[in-house]
Amino acid sequence: MTAPDCGARRPSYSKRLGVSAAVQVIHQINACRKAVLDLKLNGTLGLVPTMGALHAGHLSLVHNARRQCDHVAVTIFVNPTQFAPHEDFASYPQTLEADVELCRAAGVALVFAPTAADMYPGSEQTTVQVHGLTDGLCGPWRPGHFDGVATVVAKLFHILPADAAFFGEKDYQQLQVIRQMVRDLNFPVRVVACPTVREPDGLAMSSRNAYLTLPQRRQAVSLSRTLFTALECVRRGERTVSDLVERMRADIQAAGPCTIEYIEAVDAESLRPLAVIDCRARLCLAVRIGPCRLIDNVAVDGTTASN
């Protein structure tokens, strides 16, 4: 069974992209199931899973979902199982009231905001693990993280059986993990990748950017700057990853004190590390600046001839 193509539905829907007068805010799982079934009686449903603290990047997912589907549901849940003990679960920004208002203004039909006790009552003995894709990049630095992501997204897909689910390319490894899970477990949902949304100076939008001081915020721009510089090098014919990484590392370290967890080129589908960029690939990095762990990536194509 394949999910219907939301984008193929009534072309006139674009005329109805006005502001929704109301948004249902639901906290209980059974009530959410009923509300979703009611919405799907009257058209297709797009799902935007989030951890809240919404910004323009999240809203771009909502806008993409509204263009392609008749109704949009947003989930707001800071998932404890994807945080390691030393990570920022306790301090992760939670702004539910403001998030709901943003969703209302964006035309969202339903916000599902469960508690941890709703999602994990304490008796669960099942997790979802996606092997291979989680071996590299963020995997070794965040043990158990992708198990938590895959498990909670699988639960959300069951609670809110949408026609399409929208994820940002900034979290590219997460996107690939979810795509693999959907294929392997035969979820009848279409996974839609949406471009990374950036600040005017190039920094990828993230809820965690709020942790940065002003000097750290200025320093963080070095991440996107070095990625796009490397992208231009690939376009001009550079293919050796070690050379690219050496220059990227030097540029990031020159911008200020930081901890570079990784800078890698990987196959765009398998996330296999590359020594030579000779295929569709992603340049990916993770860097800690102050209290903030920042990730970013850009697409590069090693199959395109240089100018």
Structure tokens that stand for 145 in this block: 């993280």
* φ, ψ of residue 132 in degrees (nearest 5): 85, -65
3-state secondary structure at position 247? helix
- Residues paired with 76 in a beta bridge: 50
Which listed residue (27, 55, 58, 71) is catalytic?
A: 58
Pairing label, strands 190-194, 71-76: unpaired
- Give the SS3 label for residue 239: coil
CA-CA distance, 263 to 273, in Å (whole number)? Answer: 11
| Annotation marks residue 58 as catalytic | yes
* DSSP 8-state code for residue 8: G
Tell which residue, 276, 214, 288, has the closest CA to residue 242. Answer: 276
Tokens in use for 207? 């809820």
Structure tokens at 275: 């020594």
Contacts 24+ apart (CB under 8 A), 17-24: 17/66, 17/67, 17/107, 18/107, 19/104, 19/105, 19/106, 19/107, 20/104, 20/106, 20/107, 20/108, 20/109, 22/104, 23/100, 23/103, 23/104, 23/108, 23/109, 23/110, 23/111, 24/109, 24/110, 24/111
Write out the catalytic residue numbers.
58
